[in-house]
Every structure is written in C-alpha cells, then in structure tokens.
Amino acid sequence: MTDCYYCTKPQHKFLIENDYAAGYYDEKPSSPGHFLVFTKRHTPDFFNMTREEQQGVNDLLVKAKELVDKEHQPAAYNMGANCGSAAGQSVRHAHFHLIPRYEGDVENPKGGVRNIMK
C-alpha cells in the first residue's frame, strides 16, 4: 500500500526487525524512549494479524523494552494499540506503542491506561 505511513517507512530507520515486524523510536514521542513496533505486512490492526505476526510483534516488544531499558532506564511502561478510528487509530496499519514511564512524569499515575476514558 503506497500511501501507508508504515508501508513506506525506509528500512534503514528500523532499529529492530524480524520476518514479521519492525520497530524504531517514535518520531513524536510521548516520553523519552517511546518505541513503535509494527507489522511488515499491511494489515489494519491487531485483530487482522496472523498468529505469526502476533508472535513477531511480541518478540520485538520484548527486544524494544531491553533496548529502552538500556538507553533510558525508565521506571515502568505503558503499552498498547488503538484498533479502529473510534479508539483513536489514525494510521490504519497495525502498530504498537511501548511508552516508558518515569517517576514523577504525571501527578498520579494510578489507573494507567484506564484514565484515557475519563
């Protein structure tokens, strides 16, 4: 798909990859070390991924965490994906955010991702 942000991403930007997925630091990070992992095949979201793609993404999320831990030393992480426009998905290609969290980065982190619905 030629107009897809992830399908047209130059491979030299990839920091990690396998047969099914690739990843790099987000160009508009929510926090230092914000990392993106996405499928190589164009597919709209997690629910349309093959089992192999799911495993490939999972493997890279683990590698991404190791890389971010080494380079940024966060205290914790939020991770997730938006599936569909009503959930906030703006790029219709399966991609996953690994967002490092740091002590004191928000006043009260209790509830984590549950707070997005408030």
**Position 31 in a domain:** yes
**Position 108 in a domain:** yes
**Position 19 in a domain:** yes
Determine the average pLDDT of the residues in 68-81.
96
**Position 66 in a domain:** yes
Structural domain span for residue 34: 11-117
Percent of the chain with pLDDT over 90: 77
pLDDT band at 105, cuts 50/70/90? confident
Secondary structure of the chain in HEC code, one letter for each residue: CCCCCCCCCCHHHCCEECCCEEEEECCCCCCCCCEEEEECCCCCCHHHCCHHHHHHHHHHHHHHHHHHHHHHCCCEEEEECCCCHHHCCCCCCCEEEEEEECCCCCCCCCCHHHHHHC
**Position 6 in a domain:** no
Phi first, then psi, for residue 60 (nearest 5°) are: -75, -30
Residue 64 above 60 pLDDT?
A: yes
Residue 118 above 60 pLDDT?
A: no
Residue 1 above 70 pLDDT?
A: no
**Position 1 in a domain:** no
Residue 60 above 50 pLDDT?
A: yes
Determine the average pLDDT of the residues in 53-57.
99
Cβ within 8 Å of residue 37, ≥6 positions away: 16, 21, 22, 23, 57, 60, 61, 64, 95, 96, 98
Q: Residue 57 class from Cβ within 10 Å (0-12 exposed, 13-18 middle, 19+ buried)?
A: buried
CATH number, position 37: 3.30.428.10
**Position 41 in a domain:** yes
Into how many domains does the chain fold?
A: 1
Taking only Cα atoms into account, the Rg of the chain, rounded to an integer number of angstroms, comes to 14
**Position 86 in a domain:** yes
Residue 117 above 80 pLDDT?
A: no
